[in-house]
Amino acid sequence: LAKTTQPISMDSYEGQEVNITCSHNNIATNDYITWYQQFPSQGPRFIIQGYKTKVTNEVASLFIPADRKSSTLSLPRVSLSDTAVYYCLVGDLNYGGSQGNLIFGKGTKLSVKP
């Protein structure tokens, strides 16, 4: 599975847009990019997933350039409740016996201030 690199922490203020970038230089052709959110003492929660270009859902947008060596999670108008750790993962959805075998790094700790 492709290794990912994210900033350890980020600070923001309520109402701002937050962009978290993840590097995955050795991403493979079959790999998808997935982002999770984790609050303290809870399990991670799926946010968004994409393969290329742009994906948008009700909570976030995911921007993936043509070379797919990086991706950016965009959170519009964050609130205090968006304070959490955000994980970027890259993996092949259909890889054999370990399909769905995701490797979580340390993630990015986002702190939203009033």
Partner 1 sequence: SQTIHQWPATLVQPVGSPLSLECTVEGTSNPNLYWYRQAAGRGLQLLFYSVGIGQISSEVPQNLSASRPQDRQFILSSKKLLLSDSGFYLCAWGRLAGRSEQFFGPGTRLTVL
For the CB of residue 17, give the shortest distance to partner 1 in the complex, in Å: 25
Nearer to partner 1, 25 or 98 (CB): 98
For the CB of residue 87, give the shortest distance to partner 1 in the complex, in Å: 7
Q: Which of 2, 3, 12 is nearest to 109 (CA)?
A: 12
CA triple 44-40-3, angle to 5 deg: 45
Cα maximum dimension of the chain? 46
Binding residues with partner 1: total (CB under 8 A): 25
Alpha carbons within 13 A on the beta-carbon side of 91: 17
Distance CA 84, CA 73 (A): 14
For residues 16 to 55, the per-residue mask of contacts with partner 1, x marking binding by CB under 8 A and - elsewhere, is: ----------------x-x------xxxxxx--x------
Nearer to partner 1, 79 or 99 (CB): 99
Residues 75-114 close enough to bind partner 1 by CB under 8 A: 87, 89, 91, 93-94, 97-107
For the CB of residue 93, give the shortest distance to partner 1 in the complex, in Å: 5
Binding site for partner 1 (CB under 8 A): 32, 34, 41-46, 49, 87, 89, 91, 93-94, 97-107
